[in-house]
A and B are shown apart, each in its own frame.
Chain A
Amino acid sequence: DAKTTQPPSMDCAEGRAANLPCNHSTISGNEYVYWYRQIHSQGPQYIIHGLKNNETNEMASLIITEDRKSSTLILPHATLRDTAVYYCIVANYGGSQGNLIFGKGTKLSVKP
């Protein structure tokens, strides 16, 4: 079973910030929080990851609470092309070692 809990769906107005929450209350000390997204039926796309500090890249920002039990992915200015399913995953650093467990994610719909 996935180690994370996400809302099944969210809406966001185009141009607004999209804030996607994720609960991971059983995260262990050496596990990172990863975010991927899947647009339509394409392969998942890496967005961002973090351990305990907030992270930002050209796609998004990741805010992790001090107790590391939850996090929020922020898309600062959502566009229609950001409509996708967003997956929050906790895993050991490095992925692809048999430890990426995908839940059902959050379906984000960006509306004009």
Chain B
Amino acid sequence: NAGVTQTPKFQVLKTGQSMTLQCAQDMNHEYMSWYRQDPGMGLRLIHYSVGAGITDQGEVPNGYNVSRSTTEDFPLRLLSAAPSQTSVYFCASSGGVHDTFGSGTRLTVV
């Protein structure tokens, strides 16, 4: 099992550009979520999903969109990148016991 796979690992965007961060899991987990982590801080929840077709907002959803068309994939879309979105993004999935996290995407918006 690969677990939770995030791509890309690194990305530099210009202000105003859009992009999609990919997250895939091969554990057939129902629950998936996206977090961001700013320097010296804990993780903050952006969006989460409790199953295909169901998503909800977390603590910091502004500027991000998600969809969950399959159990395996949970992409995070940045609509119009801003320097304040420079961060490390983590995706996680859970089968109902505990979360498994991906290795992260390091995003810089210039």
Residues of chain B contacted by A95 (CB below 8 angstroms): 31, 92, 94, 97-99
The stretch of B13-21, B39-47, B75-83 that contacts the partner chain: B39-47
Known contacts A41-B88, A105-B42, A96 near B104 by CB under 8 Å:
no
For the residues of A in contact with B, the DSSP-based class is: loop
Q: Which of A2, A43, A87, A97 contacts B90 (CB 8 A)?
A: A43
Contact residues, A83-111 vs B (CB, 8 A): 87, 93-98, 100-105
A43 near B103: Cβ-Cβ < 8 Å: yes
A103 to B101, CA, bound (A): 17
Tell me the A residues contacting B by CB distance below 8 Å.
Answer: 2, 34, 36, 41-46, 49, 87, 93-98, 100-105
A34 to B98, CA, bound (A): 8
Residues of chain A contacted by B100 (CB below 8 angstroms): 46
Q: Which 10 A/B pairs are nearest by Cβ-Cβ distance? A: A96-B94, A43-B101, A102-B42, A96-B31, A95-B99, A102-B43, A98-B48, A95-B94, A46-B98, A94-B96
A102 to B45, CA, bound (A): 9
For the residues of B in contact with A, the DSSP-based class is: strand
Contact residues, B17-60 vs A (CB, 8 A): 29, 31-33, 35, 40-45, 48, 50, 56, 58
A44 near B101: Cβ-Cβ < 8 Å: yes
Residues of chain B contacted by A2 (CB below 8 angstroms): 42
Tell me the B residues contacting A by CB distance below 8 Å.
Answer: 4, 29, 31-33, 35, 40-45, 48, 50, 56, 58, 88, 90, 92-94, 96-104, 106
Most buried by A among B43, B90, B104: B43
A100 near B45: Cβ-Cβ < 8 Å: yes
Q: Which of B42, B48, B94 contacts A103 (CB 8 A)?
A: B42
B88 near A44: Cβ-Cβ < 8 Å: no
B53 to chain A, nearest CB (A): 16
A46 near B42: Cβ-Cβ < 8 Å: no
A36 to B42, CA, bound (A): 12
Known contacts A41-B104, A42-B104, A43-B104, A96 near B99 by CB under 8 Å:
yes
A60 to chain B, nearest CB (A): 13
